Amino acid sequence: MMEKIYGCSLRHLNTFGFDVSARCLIKAHTAQDILQLRDDRDFAHGRRLVMGGGSNLLFTGNFDGYILQPLMQNVDVEDDNAESTLLRVGAGMAWDELVRICVERGWYGLENLSLIPGTVGASPVQNIGAYGAEAKDAIVGVEYVDLDDFAVKRLSREQCRFGYRSSIFKQELRGKAAITQVTFCLSKRPRYNISYGALGEAVKQLGGESLHNVRQAIVATRSSKLPDPAELGNAGSFFKNPFVEKSLADELRKSHPNMPAFASPDGSVKIPAGWLIEQCGLKGARRGCVGVHPKQALVLVNYGGGTGGETLALAREICRTVRDKFGVELELEVNVV
């Protein structure tokens, strides 16, 4: 049954832990709950936001509108054969819980995305990625309610137009779609993607290739570098890794020969944003109650009592400093509200 909570505090619904509120929070447990909102004129014509676990949001103040939170929790096997399993999963399920289930059942494809915060419904929006894998590698379809005409629609992987930390849901359908179900195709044949960084060595130290060992290695690595939002407010990676022209990368290497860089198929070069920020002397920097995490420069944190406005000001300072020093433009990965 749909729930509407007016004047709702969002303090525990955003991983920064900012003390903000919304005019109304709507908890939808089924697609039918969302479809009922077609008759709610305030929702249909007012300011609205679809939210998952609040792990990729930066609230700069109270939200004077309606927040819709899809909470579907189903995990349904749609097809199963010797090669693969087709899994249809509710948007409200915690992402890492889905990964845990897949690993336990011997389904390959999501293990590299272990311990990423947020919900299943958010995974195609952001095309979440880590350790050489992205959600798009396993997603085959996304179901959503169109908030303009209140029709249930489905997009194939190709129609989602996935890109680096992007999708059609962050572009043309931004604010217009409430994702309800995501369908994944997971392999039953052993296949490991452990060539990224030191992941292969970490897996080897745990006893060799297995789904359990890959997950364990990634969980241990992420836990050692990234702060737990339950203990220190943050939204994970705050910036995208920038892709620059090869000519600029070559020029930067002359003065920074140890600069990490990764060639892309389109000829551009990816430079880790964390490295750029660290070279600017901002790793561990603090501005009042917010700052740059001392172990991972990609992560901005709320030490307690901070605000979204302070965090955004710090982010802009970082972008300006990196641009002035390297001529590289950083782009925010979080969604600013």
CB 295 within 8 A of CB 206: no
Q: Which residues pair with 133 in a beta bridge?
A: 130
CA atoms within 13 A on the CB side of 142: 30
pLDDT at 260: 93
pLDDT at 197: 80
CB 67 within 8 A of CB 43: no
For CA atoms 167, 170, 172, 177, the dihedral sign is: positive
b/e for 210-241, b at 16 or more Cβ within 10 A?
bbebbbbbbeebbeeebbebeebbbbbbbbbb
Provide DSSP, 175-235: TTEEEEEEEEEEESS------STTHHHHHHHTTSS-HHHHHHHHHHHHHHHS--TTTSEEE
CB 186 within 8 A of CB 84: yes
In the block, residue with structure tokens 């289930």 = 101
Q: What is the pLDDT along the chain (337 residues), one digit of tens a residue?
A: 889 999 999 999 999 999 999 999 999 999 999 999 999 988 988 899 999 989 899 999 999 999 999 999 999 999 999 999 999 999 999 999 999 999 999 999 999 999 999 999 999 999 999 999 999 999 999 999 999 999 999 999 999 999 999 999 999 999 999 999 999 999 999 999 998 888 999 999 999 999 999 999 999 999 988 898 989 999 999 999 999 999 999 999 999 999 999 888 889 999 999 999 999 999 999 999 999 999 999 999 999 999 999 999 999 999 999 999 999 999 999 999 9
**Closest to 29 measured CA to CA, from 63, 62, 70, 68:** 70
Q: How many residues does the chain have?
A: 337
Q: Which residues are catalytic?
A: 165, 237, 333
Surface-to-core class of residue 152, CB atoms within 10 Å of its CB (0-12 exposed, 13-18 middle, 19+ buried): middle
pLDDT at 129: 94
